[in-house]
């Protein structure tokens, strides 16, 4: 269903025909005024065509030359653009890999530190024993052997010849 | 629809030129540019009333056409296809400019044209000074009236009256329905009739 505006435009441009034309013209309240407006619209069209239709592009050849230059530049630029895109992509990938490697290194480092930390705690205990061993006045014939099963986190100390346990150890 | 080439030339080789363009032949594109540059420039100029900007927008339109020529499937004529690009570029530009300048820039442009002795309102053929002045004034009045239309209304009235395009071609170019084109045409004509009645009554 056409709106009034659509029918009016079609009527002005001579695009209405047959029953549609008869129906539309019958619906006009003042046909003489409508016809006058149609003539106005035609005059407007003539005016616009006369005044606006004659614009000529000056320096046509320069226009084409400038366009050719732009297109030539464009045909050279894509590799650069592509390189820029690749570079950006590499940067993102590099960031990703750098992050991943950093995380992996951190995890490896953390595991080693954790593993090292336990022996360090044990070493404090061992130090007390060993300090006691090196005091010939207390334990002249003392020997200490250490057996460690890292998988099971077990350390066995085998001591012989100790005259007495260190005071700190005894306290614990 | 008018082109710089004769209809026979255009019909016979346009598709061939487009195919060559799609294969990367810049000379074929140059030929298409030569055919349509004046009409495209003229259409843009009539919409924006600035020679330098019309030049730039016409260049941009052709560059965009070159970039996307591979997507042209030949369902419409090349001219309708490139016209769609031209309209998108020009209407976008007008909208941006209207946002920036609150719609007052075209009045300024008209005023500038009135004081520019080398402006294109001067007819190409030799004319008597009083005729030149009259044509210049008429042209300025028309430009001022068109400047009061929205970009979409400018597009339809110019396509219809200066390019003599069909409704379906305008609809295809503007990416809207034929009904919308007819409705826009109705309002654009009404407004211009009100603004230019004294001008066209006296010609």
Contact present, B175 and A1 (Cβ < 8 Å): no
pTM: 0.63
Both tokens assigned to B156: 């339809």
Alpha carbons B150 and A124: distance in angstroms, whole number: 87
Quick one: A44 and A96 in the same domain?
no
The answer on A64 and A33 residing in a single domain is no
- Count of domains for chain A: 2
| Whether residues A73 and A33 fall in one domain | no
Structural fold of domain B1-101: Rna Polymerase Sigma Factor; Chain: A (1.10.1740)
φ and ψ at residue A38, rounded to 5 degrees: -65, -40
Q: Are residues A35 and A73 in the same domain?
A: no
Residue A77 sits in the same domain as residue A161: yes
DSSP state of B6: -
Mean pLDDT, to the nearest integer, of A76-94? 61
**A86 and A26 part of one domain:** no
Query: ipTM for the complex?
Result: 0.75
Under an 8 A CB cutoff, do A71 and B124 touch? no
Question: Helix, strand or coil for residue A147?
Answer: strand
Note whether A72 and A154 are same-domain residues: yes
The domain containing residue A29 runs over which residues? 4-52
Residues A85 and A155 reside in one and the same domain: yes
Q: What is the pLDDT of residues A88-102, one digit of tens each?
A: 566 777 888 888 999
Rounded to the nearest 5°, which phi and psi values hold at B59?
Answer: -60, -50
B85 and chain A: CB distance < 8 Å anywhere?
A: no
> Do A78 and A157 belong to one domain?
yes
According to the per-residue pLDDT averaged within each range, which of A48-62, A158-172, B96-110, B170-184 is highest? B170-184
Residue of A nearest to B41 (CA): A57
- Cβ distance of A47 and B45 shorter than 8 Å: no
Residues A159 and A82 in one domain: yes
Q: What is the pLDDT along chain B (203 residues), one digit of tens a residue?
A: 544 544 445 554 788 999 999 998 999 999 999 999 999 999 999 999 999 999 999 999 999 999 999 999 888 889 899 999 999 999 999 999 877 654 444 443 443 344 333 333 333 445 556 566 687 889 999 999 999 999 999 999 999 999 999 999 999 999 999 999 999 999 999 999 999 999 988 77
Are residues A48 and A92 located together in one domain of the fold?
A: no
Assess B194–A contact: CB distance below 8 Å, yes or no: no
């Amino acid at each position: 269903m056409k709106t009034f505006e659509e029918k009016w435009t079609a009527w002005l441009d001579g695009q209405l025909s047959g029953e549609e034309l008869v129906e539309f013209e019958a619906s006009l309240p003042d046909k003489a005024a409508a016809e006058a407006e149609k003539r106005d619209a035609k005059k407007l069209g003539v005016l616009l065509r006369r005044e606006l239709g004659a614009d000529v592009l000056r320096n046509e050849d320069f226009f084409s030359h400038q366009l050719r230059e732009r297109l030539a530049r464009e045909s050279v630029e894509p590799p650069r653009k592509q390189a820029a895109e690749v570079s950006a992509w590499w940067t993102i990938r590099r960031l990703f890999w750098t992050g991943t490697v950093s995380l992996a290194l951190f995890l490896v480092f953390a595991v080693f530190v954790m593993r090292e930390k336990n022996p360090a705690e044990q070493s404090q205990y061992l130090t007390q024993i060993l300090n006691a061993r090196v005091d010939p006045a207390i334990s002249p014939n003392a020997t200490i052997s250490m057996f460690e099963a890292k998988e099971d986190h077990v350390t066995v100390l085998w001591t012989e010849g100790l005259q007495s346990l260190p005071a700190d150890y005894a306290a614990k | 629809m008018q082109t710089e080439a004769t209809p026979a030339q255009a019909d016979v080789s346009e598709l061939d030129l487009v195919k060559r363009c799609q294969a990367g032949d810049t000379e074929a594109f140059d030929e298409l540019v030569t055919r349509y540059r004046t009409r495209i420039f003229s259409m843009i100029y009539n919409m924006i009333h600035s020679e330098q900007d019309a030049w730039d927008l016409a260049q941009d339109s052709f560059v965009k056409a070159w970039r996307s020529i591979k997507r042209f499937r030949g369902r419409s004529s090349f001219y309708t296809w490139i016209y769609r690009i031209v309209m998108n570029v020009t209407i976008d530009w007008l909208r941006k400019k209207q946002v920036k300048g609150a719609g007052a820039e075209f009045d300024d442009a008209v005023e500038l044209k009135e004081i520019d002795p080398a402006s294109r309102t001067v007819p190409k053929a030799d004319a008597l000074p009083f005729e030149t002045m009259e044509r210049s004034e008429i042209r300025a009045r028309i430009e001022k009236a068109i400047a009061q239309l929205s970009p979409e209304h400018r597009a339809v009235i110019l396509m219809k009256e200066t390019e003599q395009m069909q409704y379906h071609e305008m609809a295809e170019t503007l990416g809207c329905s034929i009904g919308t084109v007819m409705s826009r045409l109705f309002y654009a004509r009404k407004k211009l009739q009100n603004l230019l009645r004294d001008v066209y009554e006296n010609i």
